Amino acid sequence: MNRSYNNSPAARNGCSHNDSVLLRKIQEIDFSLYEVVLYLDAYPNCAEALNYYHSLLDTRAVLVSEYEHKHGPLTAFSNVSKSSWDWTKTPWPWQL
């Protein structure tokens, strides 16, 4: 790890390089999901694209679950607690 990374806001918040990699993977899956949704809008009967879409959703669910287990809700919609608003208690995703 280089010195500049150790002094980054993410490092000061207790976030590791692995956390940044995990968030990046989620972003990549999200991008792919948007692309396959656009494709399916044009070709709704394409079974291969539909299978790919569900594969991406499954992968995303695993990655988001891992992220949220470590850091709390990834989005405000992921706040599942009925007694507290956890979304604001953890580092914002862009702080990783």
Collect the ranges in the chain with pLDDT lower than 50: 1-13
The pLDDT value recorded for residue 22 is 93
Phi, psi of 75 (to 5 degrees): -130, 165
The pLDDT value recorded for residue 49 is: 97
Write down the number of H helices and E strands in the chain: 4, 0
Give how far the C-alpha of residue 75 lies from the chain's centroid of Cα atoms, to the nearest Å: 9
**Predicted local distance difference test score (pLDDT) of residue 11:** 41
Q: What pLDDT does residue 8 have?
A: 40
pLDDT mean across residues, the chain = 82
pTM of the prediction? 0.72
Under DSSP, is residue 7 helix (H, G, I), strand (E, B) or coil? coil
How many whole angstroms separate alpha carbon 34 and alpha carbon 46?
16
Please, what's the b/e burial string for 36-75 (b: 16 or more CB within 10 A of its CB; e: otherwise)? Answer: beeeeeeeeeeeebeebbeebeebbeebbeebbeebbbbe
Tens digits of residue pLDDT in 47-72: 999 999 999 999 999 999 999 998 88
